[in-house]
Amino acid sequence: MKNMVLIGGGHSHAIALRLLGLHPLPNVALTLITDVLDTPYSGMLPGYIGGFYAFSECHIQLRHLARFAQARLVLDRAIGLDLPNKQVICREHAPIAFDWLSIDIGSTPAMAAIPGAVEYAIPAKPVPQFLAAWNHLVASLQSAPENFGDRPLRLGIVGGGAGGVELALTMQTRLRQLFKAGGLSPALVEIHLFHRQFNLMTGYPTSVGKCFHQLLIQRGIHLHLSETVRQIAVISESISDRDSQPLKKIIYCESGLTEICDDIFWVTHAIAPSWLQASGLATDDRGFILVNDTLQSISHPDIFATGDIATAIHHPRPKAGVFAVRQGKPLFENLRSISSGQSPCPFHPQKRHLALIGTGEARAVAAWGRYWLGPSSWLWFWKDWIDRRFMA
Task: Determine the 3-state secondary structure of 387 from DSSP.
Answer: helix
Distance CA 290, CA 25 (A): 26
The model's pTM is 0.88
- Most distant CA pair in the chain: distance in Å? 70
Q: What is the pLDDT along the chain (392 residues), one digit of tens a residue?
A: 999 999 999 999 999 999 999 999 999 999 999 999 999 998 999 999 999 999 999 999 999 999 999 999 999 999 999 999 999 999 999 999 999 999 999 888 888 889 999 999 999 988 888 999 999 999 988 888 877 777 889 999 999 998 999 999 999 999 999 999 888 999 999 999 999 999 999 878 888 899 999 999 999 999 999 999 999 999 865 443 444 456 789 999 999 999 999 999 999 888 888 899 899 999 998 889 999 999 999 999 999 999 889 998 887 766 666 778 889 999 999 999 999 999 999 988 777 778 899 998 999 999 887 788 889 999 999 999 999 999 98
Contact call for residues 347 and 28 (beta carbons, < 8 A): no
| Three-state SS at 12 | helix
List where CATH 3.50.50.60 sits in the chain: 2-107+272-351, 117-269
CATH of domain 117-269: 3.50.50.60
**Architecture of the structural domain at 2-107+272-351:** 3-Layer(bba) Sandwich (3.50)
Phi, psi dihedrals of residue 120, rounded to the nearest 5° = -120, -10
**What is the per-residue pLDDT for 279?**
92
Length of the chain: 392
Alpha-carbon torsion angle 285, 287, 292, 294, nearest 10: -160
pLDDT given at position 374: 84
